Structure 1
Amino acid sequence: MKLLRAASALAATAMAAAALVLTGTAGASAAVPGAPTDEQVPWRWWDGAAHQLTTGLADPPGLNRDDCQPSEHHPNPVILVHGTGLNGGNSWATVGAALAAEGFCVWAPTVGAPSGMGSTGGFDSLTGASAPQLAAEIDRVRELTGAEHVDLVGHSQGAIVASFVAATARADAVQTVVTLGADPTKSGEGPPEFVTAMMGVLSAETTQRDAEATLAWLGDEGVPYARGVRYVAVTSDYDELTGPITAPRVPDWVDLRVVRLQDGCEADRSGHLTVLASPRAVDLVVDALGTSDTGGNRTDTRPLRCVPADQLTGVLAPVPPR
């Protein structure tokens, strides 16, 4: 089963590359000073990669603004964590721009890129690369902004890396972890070392060390969650890697909410990659990280958007403002 999931992941990455060839130079909206506006959010899941291809790997608008200072309404900086074979810029053009337009400060590092693979992340060691690199970015962003906590949003393997770091290294620095394209019932299995084994990237010793760290991640209570950290898992029945997901049974102290993308919007059939540009998924991420009142209650009451989308091309209709 793991081998099948690995093959599916590699096929999805290959599909992304093929799509870029077919789309040529069609890219994201033009860069603007500071944060993009709502009208400048790109709604194609390949827009980030197209932007990088046409700008020398420059970050899409809204990401990695080291001069950004969090506002009173959005005090936590947001760090986005990409999946296998991707990077911060090509994964998060839509989510990053949407969050920046809402007033969030957003960073999207590339983690787990082995030497010689440039901006292709997610193929290196969990313990030797991805996790310490994310932990270092958390520390850097907190120092830049003076923020007490950050929020993490992870896609696919990035969801697992984010959850691992929140539970084992920076639980005191992370307030919320939002995941896309990941099964919360299996996150404790760790990132897909079988993918890196197929690529011949990791040594047997490194793979063993990562496997042991994954087992330790579950801790004495046997769950991959940290006390005091809030978890929101956005899932899709049409995800090619996870399929339909049922919320796991967890101890009472675990703050976990599993949200099905199709609840209230069966027309959104976003898959493993296209979920990165689903308007409904974007709204769910914004709400999960959104403004709270003094009692901790979410104050954003805007309805979620429902725009037809499929697994291959993503959004199939114009995206209205929220």
Structure 2
Amino acid sequence: MTAPRAVSGIAGLVAAALLVVVAPGPVTASPTTASPTTASPTTVQVPWRWWDGAAHQLTNGLADPPGINRDDCRPSARHPVPVILVHGTGLNGGNSWATFGAALAAEGYCVWAPTVGAPPGLGSTGGFDSLTGASAPQLAAEIDRVHTLTGAEKVDLVGHSQGAIIASYVTATTRKDAVRAVVTLGVDPARSGEGPPEFVTEAFGVLSAETAQRDAEATLAWLGDEGVPFARGVRYVAVVSDYDELTGPVTAPVVPDFVDLRVVRLQDGCEADRSGHLTVLASPRAVDLVTDALGGTAAGDADVRPPRCVPADGITGVLAPVPAR
């Protein structure tokens, strides 16, 4: 990682940490206190501020925002594949995915957003523990749990920042037969095989030297004999933004023919959306691109609706009213 990106990465992490609700909690992957009987949100109830998830947790006793972690949800014929959302560094499932969770649930998807990698003592602050000892096995367990709950043969994974790396790692190393697609936000797919950013453990000293070394060795092994962090038979879609403070502009990497990878630039067709590393979590255009990557909206293939173009920046997020798609 170059020096400018490392500096901006730490700045982004600090900004993210300001949103985190820290409270005692389990270190296994789990939702917080979702209510299984709460009805799914409608499209007009989707929140469009990237801090809405944190605000909901602060005012509702750490309960998850509407739409996610409903264990009574069963996939429909229109959307038969459950979706698991994977948060980034210093965040949790609830405060990361209020917008995406509500938007996907409103379209008829069954959506889960566990918290992974929360070290003992950091409660609901995820993404700081070991890749191999915590985050990866916790996500793998959640995939298995959702499979058992729903009976679905496969799941789709949507990951943001470090969550994108965890999702890709788990898919390639232990669950490639259980994952249909991996959709990512806030990562450069050419660099995802490098593993979680080193500044996380260097800055906070959460992991021991031995654990950090084990994670580094696992990251190297992740590339496998073919030298790429992508699994055969899995579809990958990377949604990227030129204004992401960690990645900067991203171009599609050169990959072997067996890799099914598509890189989608957020600004293609919408230069007004300048969402950054965190504000992309509430970008209407990003929501629409991810929804399309997962199979489309409930309107059906005959009614193709272009992704929305709403002005947004890297600090506030959306800068104008969000229309229906």
- TM-score of the two chains, using structure 2 as the length reference: 0.91
1:33 Cα offset (Å): 2.7
CA–CA distance in 1 between the matches of 2:319 and 2:295? 27
1:194 Cα offset (Å): 3.2
CA–CA distance in 1 between the matches of 2:216 and 2:19? 34
Q: 1:44 to 1:246 in 2, by over 3 A?
A: same
Instruction: State the match for 1:315 in structure 2.
Output: 318
5+ residue gaps, structure 2, are 22-35
Instruction: State the match for 2:10 in structure 1.
Output: 10
CA deviations on 1:65-112 (whole Å, 9 max, x unpaired) are 000000011111000000000000000000010000000000000000
CA–CA distance in 2 between the matches of 1:144 and 1:71? 14
- For 1:141-160, what aligned pairs fall within 5 Å after superposition? 141-160=146-165
**Any conservation in 2 of the 1:73–1:291 contact (CA below 8 Å)?**
no
Residue 221 of structure 2 corresponds to residue 216 of structure 1: yes
Which among 272, 278, 287 is matched to residue 282 of structure 1? Answer: 287
Instruction: State the match for 1:305 in structure 2.
Output: 308
5+ residue gaps, structure 1, are 22-30
**Any conservation in 1 of the 2:20–2:90 contact (CA below 8 Å)?**
no
Letter in 1 for 2:95: N
1:10 Cα offset (Å): 3.4
CA–CA distance in 1 between the matches of 2:102 and 2:320? 19
1:3 Cα offset (Å): 6.2
Residue 275 of structure 2 corresponds to residue 270 of structure 1: yes
**Any conservation in 2 of the 1:270–1:314 contact (CA below 8 Å)?**
yes
Letter in 1 for 2:129: D
Letter in 2 for 1:310: D
Secondary structure of the 1:167 match is helix
- For 1:238-253, what aligned pairs fall within 5 Å after superposition? 238-253=243-258
Residue 57 of structure 2 corresponds to residue 36 of structure 1: no
1:11 Cα offset (Å): 1.9
Instruction: State the match for 1:122 in structure 2.
Output: 127
CA–CA distance in 2 between the matches of 1:20 and 1:172? 33
Which among 36, 42, 48 is matched to residue 53 of structure 2? Answer: 48
**Any conservation in 1 of the 2:187–2:240 contact (CA below 8 Å)?**
yes
Q: 1:67 to 1:258 in 2, by over 3 A?
A: same
Letter in 2 for 1:104: Y
Secondary structure of the 1:301 match is coil
For the aligned residue pairs, the C-alpha RMSD in angstroms reads: 2.0
Instruction: State the match for 1:26 in structure 2.
Output: none
CA–CA distance in 1 between the matches of 2:160 and 2:144? 21
Q: In the comparison of the two structures, how many residue pairs are matched?
A: 309
CA–CA distance in 2 between the matches of 1:238 and 1:298? 31
**Any conservation in 2 of the 1:82–1:110 contact (CA below 8 Å)?**
yes
- For 1:180-259, what aligned pairs fall within 5 Å after superposition? 180-259=185-264
Secondary structure of the 1:120 match is coil
Letter in 2 for 1:151: D
1:192 Cα offset (Å): 1.7
